[in-house]
Amino acid sequence: MSEPAASAGSIRTVDTSLYRIPNEQTLEDATQSFDTLEIVALTAESDDGHRGLGFTYTIGRGGAAIKRFLDDELVPLLEGQPVAPRAVRSALRGETTFIGREGISEFAIAAVDIAIWDALGKHAGLPLCELLGGTREPVPMYETNGGWLQYDADTLVENAREIANEGFAGMKMKVGSSIERDVERVRAVRDALPTDLDLMLDGNCSYTLPEARQLTNRLDDVAITWFEEPLPKDDYASYADLRRRVNVPIATGENFYNETQFRQVIDRNAVDYLQPDVCRIGGITPWMNVADQAATAGLSVSPHYIEPIHAHLACAANNVPYIEHHSIVLNKLLAKPIEVNDGLILPPDRPGHGMSFKDTEQYRDA
């Protein structure tokens, strides 16, 4: 991945905003429930008049802290910086090393990185996927929104049939309430899905190693594409142990905040699918670095959430079988939500990432 050789100018002004968007219902997984999506947005305007939109997100809390970090620590450093994402990210991380390379700092840097890539795409007159060297084409998706933990087996079966009819490549369901309930729900969904649709399980870091082994052993005869985040995110040794002992592929990475954490599971042969989240890992620049790491190791990437950005990135990487279709809450903020047709999403052909916000005042945090 490289940036265009011609200068795209410098950053002239930067603005930030915080929005709180309510879910249509409270959503539950094994470790949390949430009813609000928080979006922290950043707009960077270059001296040639191109405005790049970046954003990051939380699920209900922490957005004010990220905005404060942006306003107090990062925004003052941006004026006069080149519209060059790699250079700016390197400078910002150098200035924030003492704070750490996880959590708030990476969420905040992600908003900056995405905004600068958007401005660069507008300067070049190219969609983000083409700016990154890819080809704009439809990207397959799997559906998560029908598989939340609060759904019983009957509801999950109904959702599975709807997901199949809508053309998605697969369905992901949440597990982690109890082994017995997990087994009942998983078997019901697998029986309801056509055999050519994938089924993924998401434990949201809720199992111990013995519990994860027990669940996979109980489901040994069930076709499962991956078991996602069964263990605490940074227990790399246990991930490697689990992968050696079970027949189900292992996925992880949505809660990793830098390339080094992905390298930990790659080097330990602890994972089959990597799941970087563009907002949690610090933006488009490190996301593409992880995709390259995965390709070198012969691993697939299937990113977490943020479909409008990940559709572009999937087109620029050659190891993304599908991306996640999560909740549709973000669509409430988008001027032109990306349509899903027969389980496929096509990145916008507008320069940059193609996203803009509308009706923001009703969601703006006071």
The domains of the chain are located at 10-125, 130-345
Please check whether residue 50 is in contact with residue 123, taking contact to mean a CB–CB distance below 8 angstroms: yes
Specify the pTM: 0.96
Nearest residue to 134 via CA among 323, 352, 318:
318
Q: What is the pLDDT of residue 33?
A: 86
Statement: 130-345 belongs to CATH 3.20.20.120: yes
Q: In Å, how far from its chain's centre is CA 218?
A: 30
- The encoded tokens of residue 104 equal 């708030």
Q: In a 10 Å sphere around its CB, with 0-12 CB exposed, 13-18 middle and 19+ buried, how is residue 63 labelled?
A: buried
Taking only the tens of pLDDT, the chain with its 366 residues reads 555 545 789 999 999 999 999 998 888 899 888 899 999 999 999 999 999 999 999 998 999 999 999 999 999 999 999 999 999 999 999 998 888 888 999 999 999 999 999 999 999 999 999 999 999 999 999 999 999 999 999 999 999 999 999 999 999 999 999 999 999 999 999 999 999 999 999 999 999 999 999 999 999 999 999 999 999 999 999 999 999 999 999 999 999 999 999 999 999 999 999 999 999 999 999 999 999 999 999 999 999 999 999 999 999 999 999 999 987 889 999 999 989 999 999 999 999 999 999 878 899 985
- The encoded tokens of residue 42 equal 């950043």
What is the rounded distance in angstroms from the CA atom of residue 300 to the CA atom of residue 68? Answer: 36
Per DSSP (E only), the strands in the chain are 11-28, 33-46, 51-58, 139-143, 170-174, 198-202, 226-228, 250-252, 273-274, 300-301, 323-325, 340-341, 344-345
Which bin fits 205, alpha (ψ -120 to 50), beta or left (φ > 0)?
left
Neighbours of 221 (CB within 10 A): 7
Q: What is the pLDDT of residue 219?
A: 98
What is the third-level CATH fold of 10-125?
Enolase-like; domain 1 (3.30.390)
* First-residue to last-residue Cα distance in the chain: 39
Neighbours of 252 (CB within 10 A): 26
DSSP annotation of 102 reads S
Nearest residue to 107 via CA among 313, 300, 286:
286
What is the rounded distance in angstroms from the CA atom of residue 140 to the CA atom of residue 224? Answer: 18
Q: What is the pLDDT of residue 25?
A: 86
Bridge pairing between strands 226-228 and 198-202: parallel
